[in-house]
Amino acid sequence: MRLHKVYHRFSLLSLTSPPFLIPPCSSSTPPPFLRSKRCRTTSSLSSNNPFIKPMSTSSSSRLRNLVPVGAIGTEDAGPNGSAAAYDYSYNDDDELNSGYRLPPPEIKDIVDAPPLPALSFSPFRDKILFLKRRSLPPLSELAKPEDKLAGIRIDGKSNARSRMSFYTGIGIHDLKDDGTLGPEKSIHGFPEGSKLNFVTWSPDGKHLAFSIRQDEVEDVDSKLRLWVADVETGKAKPLFQSPDVFLNAIYDQYVWVNNSTLLVCTIPESRGSPPKKPLVPAGPKIQSNEQKTVVQSRTYQDLLKDEYDEDLFEYYATSQLVLVSLDGAVRLFGEPALYTSLDPSPDEKYILLSSTHRPFSFTVPSGRFPRKIDLWTADGKFLRTICDLPVAEDIPIASNSVRKGMRSLNWRADKPSELYWVETQDGGDAKVEVSPRDIVYTQSADAPQGEEPKIFFKLDLRYGGISWCDDSLALVYESWYKTRRVKTWLVSPGSNETPRLLFDRSSEDVYSDPGSPMFRRTPAGTYVIAKFKKENKEGTYLLLNGSGATPEGNIPFLDLFDIETGDKERIWQSDKEKYFESVVALMSDQTAGDLYVNDLKVLTSKESKTENTQYYLQKWPEKKSCQITNFPHPYPQLASLQKEMVRYKRQDGVQLTATLYLPPGYDASRDGPLPCLVWSYPGEFKNKEAAGQVRGSPNTFAGIGATSPLLWLARRYAILSGPTIPIIGEGKEEANDSYVDQLVWSAEAAVEEVIRRGVAHPDKIAIGGHSYGAFMTANLLAHAPHLFCCGIARSGAYNRTLTPFGFQNEDRTLWDATDTYIKMSPFMAANKIKKPILLIHGEEDNNSGTLTMQSDRFFQALKGHGALSRLVILPFESHGYSSRESIMHCLWETDRWLQKFCVSNSSEASIESKTDESKTVASGGGAVAELEDIGNGVDGLHFNTRSSLW
């Protein structure tokens, strides 16, 4: 890999979860935060079809749980600085509707626990960075002005994306051969209180580059400056000698071109002041479709609205590229433009520059604006324009539909400077039947003018990426969401050998997942598939790293795979009795030439139900394990919590699973049933067998995020986390046509299971969820009121007619499936909701489909029918909640709701309610934990739809 780049936005994910590890390379295709411009083996997979992966990886699901949040903490004070006392009685007085509040100390203390550092390995695995973080940011960080332009939220003061988290410091440790760490050496020399972002290693691992910004005070600008540090001495200094050169961080910020030179996106020195909004508009806002173009778009937010927005977006997004060396020499590179990515070739001779330009669009975000890709020499000479694509407003909403023209243009990781890309043959419309559907092309960067590109591969499904190795081996992936089919082809790029179909399977069938190939670093800094040899034996082998899904839970493994015969040999497997272990990265690829199994060294993680994640070096042939980290337990007060993966069936025979958490020291026979919080998120499947497969492990550590339902273990609730709620549409059936029925079936089965076990009081079971989980919650209170005493719905969408061109995984329009849209909308069933429901929403929600208006309109509908309801709008918050004030208040609201309507719920009131609602039609569903709650240790579904209502 060329470099590691790390930056994160404020998020909902756990501040007390295991440390975020930035490994040198994942066991499969490197994750986005790992990929340099040379390591995009499956770059189009997420953009074309985010729900299907060619081959899953055990490490990716674990890493997904460990996203760090860098921010600053605040004192226990209200907005005006006064202490916010906790009201244990939750008296119904005027104070309940004003001010920020704090949850009980047992919850607050867990959320306020200091976060562990993020980790990053050097390119040669000989050093580890410990990136220091602070806890939850104050609301004042979110309250700073921001411009919402083209789907991007911009902090004009820093000319960067708004709400960026940051690191507060960097420590470096030598990683010794025995797995132990040397003493910490701090990066120093930058101003105290600086906020660090975009930390990267130079290709040779001798330097670090990172941006620095400071809070805006007198004589100090909050714009980002680029610094470099010598890894050996720890001394940092500004990269530019002039103090007036600032990073433009709207899109890509900078890239290492070689060991001593960086290409940097800077704010043009001559750009002047931002455009001023005219007091009187030049004319009305007009959009026209006189050409009768069919444009169907999801419900995007923060779009451009007028000419002023266009000018302002162009102002902030325009960069001047600069080549700068470590000795301070500076040279301009090209003309100012809206550069979106910078991609050096592996041989450091060329650079691909991607940019966007006018005409912009008022109906789609900037990712669909016109896109131009130019080829330059690394010293700044323009060679040619490779493509210039028009605005893509007309991509059909059907799954697997894509942009017309060249897409997924990248450098081959195994060649000095060879390009590859894919072009659709169906006009980008997945509903068009054609063969082939996609064609992959290759062409050398120095190809003579006029030379036609070579056809590399033809695909009948949608292109899903390529993992390169060498001229004898590459893996090509294709997939089709409607059928969940995924194929992996083994190709010999340097010969005319017929491609061989290696795997052909359903993405839903996790039990048959063979695993993903591990990658090695090349001398050029890219990552390619690692090939292995066995001592004294012929043959070439790959290492397949798999999640190892089984009916007993995930048991990750490493298989030695003979690419000629297809034979497999399991050389490592996780402990399945007590621990959950997974392979994170290959660590023995530093020497050139063949890799041998007996010299294998990998980085692994290890955890249990009660022991938080630690990292280890595992060496062959002894398979000796050396512990690298020794992080303290993030919440010792819950160290002895009880966790169990439970299995049960719903009425149509589908096998369901959930993770049951019980408080420390709880004994059902002694303590009796508890109040119970059920927290979930539905998911779609094509067949019952796949829907019933077990995902996740009973041995994973119970990571607890800042708004995780597991916090209520500290309040002695039983928590049923992630009960599966599969919405199944077999054959030609559409899953959502029976959404409500399947939703209720799954919920009924989950409730019956916790009651049968004696851990949950039948009249004290609450339901909750975030985003699509909030949609689920409202539907269950409307269609299964006999199951739950109350509900908590956060950041949801409740009226599907407000998302008429598809939502979540529904790609039919409102006019195609009117009955489905109406029946699925709890807004239309507001008159049926009789149980208390708490609605929480961020006032600045930018997620597609979940406009804040959704909660506001739903609350008005509930209020109009006299429903016991409460709406809490969190100022400045987006789809997930970030600030300490907001998160603490969200927890206070939730705890108050549960205490009043769950813990204090009387059986008499419940019986009366059941009598009134006994004629409600039962309808039903199942799922796993949402993205917002991945800190609880529940693995996600095979397709990653956790955080958005589309």
The model carries a pTM of 0.87
pLDDT band at 282; cut points 50, 70, 90: confident
CA dist 427 and 411 (Å) reads: 24
CA dist 432 and 496 (Å) reads: 30
Count of CB atoms within 10 A of residue 227's CB?
Answer: 20
Domain positions in the chain are 636-903
pLDDT one-digit tens code per residue, 807-822: 999 999 999 999 999 9
Is the confidence at residue 920, as pLDDT, over 50?
no
Q: pLDDT at position 93, please?
A: 53
Cis amide bond preceding 673, omega within 30: no
Mention every residue, 6+ apart, whose C-beta is less than 8 A from residue 300: 151, 363, 364, 365, 848
Count of CB atoms within 10 A of residue 62's CB?
Answer: 28
Q: Would you state the structure tokens that stand for residue 396, as one six-digit string?
A: 């059909």
How confident is the model over 108-133, as a mean pLDDT? 94
Helix, strand, coil percent content, the chain, rounded in steps of 5: 15, 30, 50
How confident is the model over 754-769, as a mean pLDDT? 98
Q: Residue 455 in contact with residue 439, Cβ under 8 Å?
A: yes
CA atoms within 13 A on the CB side of 803: 32
pLDDT one-digit tens code per residue, 861-919: 999 999 999 999 999 999 999 999 999 999 999 999 999 999 998 643 333 333 343 33
Helix (H) or strand (E) holding 721: strand 718-721
Q: Residue 55 in contact with residue 153, Cβ under 8 Å?
A: no
How confident is the model over 828-849, as a mean pLDDT? 97
Strands across the sheet containing 160-161: 147-149, 152-155, 160-161
How confident is the model over 217-224, as a mean pLDDT? 71
Q: pLDDT at position 947, please?
A: 26
Tell me, what DSSP letter sits at residue 451? Answer: P
Q: Residue 168 in contact with residue 188, Cβ under 8 Å?
A: no
CA dist 777 and 794 (Å) reads: 9
Cis amide bond preceding 514, omega within 30: no
Output b/e per residue, 255-288; b: 16+ Cβ within 10 A.
bbbeebbbbbbbbeeeeeeeeeeeeeeeeeeeee
Residue type for 949, please? L
**What long-range pairs does 442-449 form, CB within 8 A, spacing at least 24?**
442/412, 442/418, 442/493, 443/418, 443/419, 444/417, 444/418, 444/419, 445/345, 445/349, 445/350, 445/375, 445/383, 445/417, 445/418, 445/419, 446/417, 449/384
pLDDT band at 96; cut points 50, 70, 90: confident
Closest C-alpha to 224, from 315, 153, 161, 148: 161
Residue type for 294, please? V
Q: Residue 413 in contact with residue 528, Cβ under 8 Å?
A: yes
Closest C-alpha to 726, from 715, 711, 741: 741
Beta 371-377 vs 382-389: how paired, if at all?
antiparallel
CA atoms within 13 A on the CB side of 225: 22
Q: Would you state the structure tokens that stand for residue 133, as one six-digit string?
A: 């973080």
Query: Residue 118 forms beta bridges with which residues?
Result: 131
CA dist 389 and 692 (Å) reads: 43
Map residue 827 onto helix, strand or coil.
helix
How confident is the model over 473-493, as a mean pLDDT? 97
CATH class of 636-903: alpha beta
Is the confidence at residue 852, as pLDDT, over 70?
yes
Longest dimension (CA), the chain: 84
| Residue appearing with tokens 């760490």 | 181
Sign (positive/negative) of CA torsion 453, 455, 460, 462? negative
Higher pLDDT residue, 81 or 596? 596
pLDDT one-digit tens code per residue, 423-480: 999 999 999 999 999 999 999 999 998 899 999 999 999 999 999 999 999 999 999 9
Helix (H) or strand (E) holding 44: helix 43-48
H helices of 446-585, where? none
Find the catalytic residue in 366, 771, 825, 878: 771
Map residue 349 onto helix, strand or coil.
coil
Find the catalytic residue in 589, 845, 895, 939: 845
Q: Answer left, alpha or beta for residue 903, where phi above 0 means left and psi between -120 and 50 means alpha.
A: alpha
Residue type for 17, please? S
Torsions phi, psi for 822 (to 5 deg): -70, -50
H helices of 704-790, where? 739-756, 772-783
Is the confidence at residue 662, as pLDDT, over 50?
yes
Is the confidence at residue 189, as pLDDT, over 60?
yes
Q: pLDDT at position 293, please?
A: 86
Is the confidence at residue 29, as pLDDT, over 50?
no
Q: Would you state the structure tokens that stand for residue 526, as one six-digit string?
A: 């890219």
Q: pLDDT at position 94, please?
A: 53
Find the catalytic residue in 4, 879, 889, 942: 879
Mention every residue, 6+ apart, whose C-beta is less than 8 A from residue 692: 654, 655, 656, 726
Residue type for 2, please? R
Q: Answer left, alpha or beta for residue 525, where phi above 0 means left and psi between -120 and 50 means alpha.
A: left
Q: Is 207 a catalytic residue?
A: no
pLDDT one-digit tens code per residue, 318-364: 999 999 999 989 999 999 999 999 999 999 999 999 999 999 999 99
Tell me, what DSSP letter sits at residue 248? Answer: -
Output b/e per residue, 135-153; b: 16+ Cβ within 10 A.
bbbbbebbeeebbbbbbbb
Map residue 763 onto helix, strand or coil.
strand
CA dist 110 and 114 (Å) reads: 9
- How far from the centroid of its chain's Cα atoms is residue 763's Cα? 36
CA dist 199 and 256 (Å) reads: 12
In the chain, DSSP finds a helix count (H) and a strand count (E) of 13, 49
Q: Would you state the structure tokens that stand for residue 789, as one six-digit string?
A: 């005493």
**What long-range pairs does 242-245 form, CB within 8 A, spacing at least 24?**
244/269, 245/269, 245/322, 245/330
pLDDT band at 85; cut points 50, 70, 90: very low
Closest C-alpha to 586, from 547, 622, 549, 532: 532
Q: Is 345 a catalytic residue?
A: no
pLDDT one-digit tens code per residue, 554-612: 999 999 999 999 999 999 999 999 999 999 999 987 777 889 999 999 999 999 999 99
Query: Residue 388 forms beta bridges with which residues?
Result: 372
Is the confidence at residue 502, as pLDDT, over 90?
yes
Tell me, what DSSP letter sits at residue 917? Answer: T
Is the confidence at residue 104, as pLDDT, over 80?
yes
- SS3 for 375-405 is EEECCCCEEEEEEEECCCCCCCCCCCCCCCC
Q: Is 319 a catalytic residue?
A: no
Mean pLDDT across the chain: 86
